[in-house]
Structure 1
Amino acid sequence: MTESNGSPGAGASLPDWEKRFRAPRVGLPGWAEYAPDRSLFTSNATGTFEIYAWDRSTGQQRQVTDRPNGTTGGVLSPDGEWIWWFSDTDGDEFGSWMRQPFHGGPDEPATPGLEPAYPAGLALGRDGTAVIGSSTDKGGSTVHVMRPGAAPVEIYRHEQSAGVGDLSHDATLIAIEHTEHGDAMHSAIRVVRMDGSTVAELDDTRGATEELGLSVMGFAPVDGDSRLLVGHQRRGRWEPMLWDALTGEETPLPIDLPGDLDADWYPDGSALLIEHSFRARSELWRYELADGSLTRLDTPPGTVSGALPRPDGTVEYLWSSAAKPPVIRSTAGHIVLDPPAGPDGIGQAPDSVPVEDVWVEGPGGKVHALVQKPAGEGPFPTVFDIHGGPTWHDSDAFAADPAAWVDHGFAVVRVNYRGSTGYGRAWTDALKHRVGLIELEDIAAVREWAISSGLADPRRLVLAGGSWGGYLTLLGVGTQPDSWALGLAAVPVADYVTAYHDEMEALKALDRTLLGGTPEEVPERFAASSPLTYVDQVRAPVYISAGMNDPRCPIRQIENYVRRLEERGHPHEVYRYDAGHGSLVVEERIKQLRLEIAFAERHLGRPDRPDQDRSGLPTGRG
């Protein structure tokens, strides 16, 4: 396989699947509230995802950060003078905020006096005030207020998960999302003054017969307006409402659209931008607060992965589909931002194939799956590419990994199992206590459809995924050993008990919510949901990749699982890399996928040679 040497046009001879990774791309640019020509965006132009500054008035762009393992998540101060970015160590997500002048200059500590921690929200005021959320494994969650020239002052602390939601426009009120009630999946909201004293509390878990959560969408962008835009689940899905913390008034917003609704303020506070997600696609609407009228904005079919309204009333959004690579568009009709030039001479990423929708009857209701397949007639070797989260969902959006498998002759099936977002609150909340096993029941139902429909070759079924998808992969090859010919697990939970004790505190709280307690309190549930419990039943060869600095799926628990495979003499490979929960380095991402594809072809044969010997491999049940 030809490698790039970095010279102009060097990428021309690369296969399409590598071009999709190497093609320079940009994230949705954010801008300073009072200097809207000053923007920030992320890009992989250098081969590593880093933060870039963009002066729209001059067109000038410059790279802000330059770190071996990459940087994301920059924030501009409202006046556009400062760029804040979070500095961790090789992807371990533990560190401190730094800042740099917009037009360049040395980095400096942005929060002197605060110890390193995990970030838990940041809000910046136009008067220079900063509200910093953080958490540590032993200290719980904290919120600090830092005034210009003064040391940070702690105004909130709790052992349960909490974070900064937003700071009001006049920097007098702070919205904090918290889970003091102990349910890490359903947050409450507390609005406090700058000294930490409580103004009001909104908690839909109190006295509720159903589990309901809230989310902070943002304070009104107008002085003297204390209304907070809040996401709620009172009608079985996510939708917005207005809550005035000073008066207690709640204003429902009757938006008659199916699916989940996200919202953001237009800069003048007169309207809301509604992001409507339904059946793995999304679209944008404008909602007028004065009369409740709703107008659809013109966006192509596919997925909007982020959108922001500009001061002139237009909206910029990041759009893609499974077949078409991402692009930053404006509702004014133009492309907003071209990526900086990359070193390989590769332009736009090559197209892939569109997805087909499949609905399969499962044990908990109809399961939605997205299918991509190569040219030719099936049955195909098939990769079940399982998403992470678990509170996430696959959508009709561009993704380089499944596109690469299709290029290599594999069909790809992505399942929005119970626990996924976008299909109503009951679907997302269905995981309690039988964690992992419920998701695998839905995956099994889609697997049976894939075989019976003629799509998938039952002898060459691959279970794959990263993070929670990696966890389900290891759990699946252990609990469904006759169903899968191969397992590919990236940054997985492999030993649930050890993972619980080693992971970051916020994830411990989530595990307690999902499983109903700690490993010591409900050992039978942790055992039933842990891949390590079933490791001796695994028949399929297993490939595992793991980040040495991963705080979410720590390395020790993966080594425990690998050790058991070694003791059995079971066929497996492990790839360890020096980063955290995944990598921001393009070359590293390509290397990992190349190793997975080679592992699959070595054990299953190449898709164009279905009769290649695979003696000793499970043949499946189909």
Structure 2
Amino acid sequence: MPDWEKRFRAPRTGLPGWAEEAPDRSLFTSNATGTYEVYAWDRASGERRQVTDRPNGTTGGVLTPDGEWIWWFSDTDGDEFGVWMRQPFHGGTDEPAVPGLEPSYPSGLALGRDGTAVIGRSTDKSGSSVHVVRPGAEPVEIYRHDESAVVAGLSHDSSLIAIEHTEHGDAMHSAVRILRLDGTTVAELDDTQGGTQELGLSVTAFSPVPGDSRLLLGHQRRGRWEPLLWDAVTGAETVIALDLPGDLEADWYPDGSALLVEHSHHARSELWRYDLADGSLSRLDTPSGTVSGALARPDGSVEFLWSSAQKPPVVRSTAGHVVLEAPVGADGVVRAPESVPVEDIWVDGPGGRVHALLQKPAGQGPFPTVFEIHGGPTWHDSDAFAAGPAAWVDHGFAVVRVNYRGSTGYGRAWTDALKHRVGLIELEDIAAVREHVVASGLADPEKLVLAGGSWGGYLTLLGVGTQPGAWTVGLAAVPVADYVTAYHDEMEALKALDRTLLGGTPEEVPERFAASSPITYVDEVRAPVYISAGVNDPRCPIRQVENYVRRLEERGHPHEVYRYDAGHGSLVVEERIKQLRLEIAFAERHLGLRHDRPEHRSAAPA
């Protein structure tokens, strides 16, 4: 088995969460069976068991605070439209968690210590809604709006609900409202000033201390994400000003005495403890790389999921041990082979300095080079383990990942630069990095692959159309291909995002949608194009992909299309391997590279 396949097949676990009132009862996700599913872990006895077992996988289980029930979301073949189910922690029959609620897209969930449940929902026809379910009672709708809203938290005594909403019409910057269980408003915090300025808020959680009505949030008032404490009852605000560069996210320690701060800067992250009593800040011992999630335990230790581009992910504890070993995979693979470390590239772009991450095989360039473009768009690539880029390196390619304007992690102005000239802005930054790596002798200008999934797939199709002489091959997974059709077919929350990014609907700003739509430029495409798409995808629906493919067919342009029975990507390991194998073969064939390259060698240093 080649190393690149082992990296996909190696058993992994996510960061385990636990019940607030029963911290020995935990949940985590794992791919041990070949499909990502939810697992229960009784830390006291050591017992672990698989909770869900579905053909297309399951993620996102939630424990009730007492640890008695596991909630998980049941959709159909990855379409993200369904209902919440529940199952006893130690096993039993699945049952609807909230009888009486029709299927919907999930939009947040908060479970109270007294059995209260608050469910956020959205549909394509009725916008967003919030429903309260008390023990033994029917669900009651307490909130509804045409714009998107998310249930973000429930106070310790279950009397206050926090929601993030975008009633002001800016889907990229949320306001926060505190509601009582009857739907009446307690307080509002809106840094957008009703949508007149681009400042958003993000809810973390209410205080874990009884009688404490403070809410921990993230704010952007100083041009980056920083923590803020807000007492919704008194209106008091406590700004947590920390002298660290980059973005800062925080969560509570279980006793409420301190905050666990995740510090992200230039595609790496680390952990700090901030004591609320005296304002002292102390760094926790984490290796160089990326922390993909962290939680403080009742004993004061912190568990975190860590990896680097070279080292596979592992759940560690600041107490000095590995928290959770993944089950041995069904095919006998124990752990993922290492890859090569990542290097930083900084390039002057039209909107400022652009940061990119580079991984390359042994030897001297110029190399065939893959520009692997991240999705989101409000996301960023980091120094974290990724089986896809590592596979390309194993096949002799250099891999460049660009944190273009619109990416998170480089300040609010960088993220918010993505407006109106959507897609074209990101491609300007990608072009600046492309020119740099070609001029430096790293990349072979005759063997440049533009690739990505979701928003990265969208940028791939837009890039091969608007920069036709720059790319040799295009590989687009679950892409936006026809922006107008995608808008009309996609889930409601994404319509709101598109209205924010482009300044209106396709009917209101048709020229912007046309300028940002790959199908506008389909007749200019020169590079062979490979497209993969999930037939049940609610985010980048299949009809708009078919419209683009039809235009390629009419031109007789070289292309391949792979359709699979899932949604926006797959949770099945073999499906992921199959898709990447097809992409690599397509690229090698059209780049004229050898097919007898030994796939089994490792890219990791000796």
Structure 1 position 606, deviation (Å): 2.0
TM-score, length of structure 2 as denominator length:
0.98
Superposed CA offset, 1:335-361 (max 9, x none): 000011211111110000000000000
Aligned counterpart, 2:554 = 567
Superposed CA offset, 1:174-213 (max 9, x none): 0000000000000000001111100000001117864100
Say which SS state the counterpart of residue 533 (structure 2) adopts. Answer: strand
Separation in 2, partners of 1:449, 1:462: 15
* Matched AA of 1:589: R
The yes-or-no answer on 1:88 pairing with 2:109 is no
Separation in 1, partners of 2:488, 2:595: 45
Separation in 1, partners of 2:460, 2:440: 23
The yes-or-no answer on 1:312 pairing with 2:278 is no
Aligned counterpart, 2:219 = 232
Aligned counterpart, 1:198 = 185
The yes-or-no answer on 1:50 pairing with 2:16 is no
Separation in 2, partners of 1:355, 1:606: 24
The yes-or-no answer on 1:242 pairing with 2:229 is yes
Aligned counterpart, 1:3 = none
User: Any residues of structure 2 matched to 1:571-610 within 5 Å, and which?
Assistant: 571-606=558-593
| Root-mean-square deviation over aligned CA pairs | 1.0
Q: Alignment partner for residue 156 of structure 2, among 169, 193, 209?
A: 169
Aligned counterpart, 2:604 = none
Structure 1 position 72, deviation (Å): 0.2
* Matched AA of 2:31: N
Superposed CA offset, 1:210-266 (max 9, x none): 410001011000111000001100000000111011111111111111100111000
Aligned counterpart, 2:531 = 544
Superposed CA offset, 1:89-125 (max 9, x none): 0000000000000000000000111000000000000
Say which SS state the counterpart of residue 548 (structure 2) adopts. Answer: helix
Asked if the contact 2:169/2:195 (under 8 Å) is kept, the reply is no
Aligned counterpart, 1:464 = 451
Separation in 1, partners of 2:349, 2:427: 11
The yes-or-no answer on 1:410 pairing with 2:394 is no
Superposed CA offset, 1:516-557 (max 9, x none): 000000000000000000000000000000000000000000
Q: Alignment partner for residue 324 of structure 1, among 298, 301, 311?
A: 311
* Matched AA of 2:151: V
The yes-or-no answer on 1:400 pairing with 2:387 is yes
Separation in 2, partners of 1:210, 1:171: 32
Separation in 2, partners of 1:194, 1:221: 19
The yes-or-no answer on 1:365 pairing with 2:352 is yes
Separation in 2, partners of 1:392, 1:282: 14
Aligned counterpart, 2:522 = 535
Say which SS state the counterpart of residue 269 (structure 2) adopts. Answer: strand
The yes-or-no answer on 1:97 pairing with 2:121 is no
* Matched AA of 1:440: L
* Matched AA of 1:26: T
Say which SS state the counterpart of residue 212 (structure 1) adopts. Answer: coil
* Matched AA of 2:354: V
* Matched AA of 1:359: W
Q: How many residues align?
A: 597
User: Any residues of structure 2 matched to 1:247-266 within 5 Å, and which?
Assistant: 247-266=234-253
Superposed CA offset, 1:564-605 (max 9, x none): 000000000000000000000000000000000000111102
Asked if the contact 1:380/1:607 (under 8 Å) is kept, the reply is no
Aligned counterpart, 1:557 = 544
Off by >6 Å, runs of 4+ in structure 1 = 607-610
Q: Alignment partner for residue 281 of structure 1, among 268, 274, 288?
A: 268
Aligned counterpart, 1:423 = 410
Separation in 2, partners of 1:346, 1:148: 45
Aligned counterpart, 2:601 = none
Change (3 A) 1:384 1:152: same
Say which SS state the counterpart of residue 431 (structure 1) adopts. Answer: coil
Q: Alignment partner for residue 117 of structure 2, among 117, 121, 130?
A: 130
Asked if the contact 1:28/1:306 (under 8 Å) is kept, the reply is yes
The yes-or-no answer on 1:495 pairing with 2:482 is yes
Structure 2 unaligned regions, length at least 5: 598-606
User: Any residues of structure 2 matched to 1:26-41 within 5 Å, and which?
Assistant: 26-41=13-28
Say which SS state the counterpart of residue 463 (structure 2) adopts. Answer: helix
Separation in 2, partners of 1:265, 1:143: 25
Aligned counterpart, 1:443 = 430
The yes-or-no answer on 1:292 pairing with 2:279 is yes
Asked if the contact 1:42/1:50 (under 8 Å) is kept, the reply is yes
Structure 1 unaligned regions, length at least 5: 1-13, 611-622
Q: Alignment partner for residue 303 of structure 1, among 286, 290, 293?
A: 290
Aligned counterpart, 1:620 = none
* Matched AA of 2:413: A
Aligned counterpart, 2:493 = 506
Aligned counterpart, 2:341 = 354
Aligned counterpart, 2:10 = 23
The yes-or-no answer on 1:476 pairing with 2:460 is no
Separation in 2, partners of 1:511, 1:416: 20
User: Any residues of structure 2 matched to 1:377-392 within 5 Å, and which?
Assistant: 377-392=364-379
Structure 1 position 609, deviation (Å): 9.8
Superposed CA offset, 1:298-356 (max 9, x none): 00000000000000000000000000000000000000000112111111100000000
* Matched AA of 1:264: D
Aligned counterpart, 2:210 = 223
Superposed CA offset, 1:50-75 (max 9, x none): 00000000110000000000000000
Aligned counterpart, 1:113 = 100
Superposed CA offset, 1:257-277 (max 9, x none): 110011100000000000000
Separation in 1, partners of 2:449, 2:370: 5
Asked if the contact 1:410/1:607 (under 8 Å) is kept, the reply is no
The yes-or-no answer on 1:267 pairing with 2:268 is no
Asked if the contact 2:251/2:260 (under 8 Å) is kept, the reply is yes
* Matched AA of 2:110: A
Asked if the contact 2:168/2:195 (under 8 Å) is kept, the reply is no
Structure 1 position 473, deviation (Å): 0.1
Separation in 2, partners of 1:269, 1:324: 33
* Matched AA of 2:369: T
Say which SS state the counterpart of residue 417 (structure 2) adopts. Answer: helix
* Matched AA of 1:68: P
Separation in 2, partners of 1:226, 1:210: 28
The yes-or-no answer on 1:211 pairing with 2:198 is yes
Say which SS state the counterpart of residue 338 (structure 2) adopts. Answer: coil
* Matched AA of 2:343: E
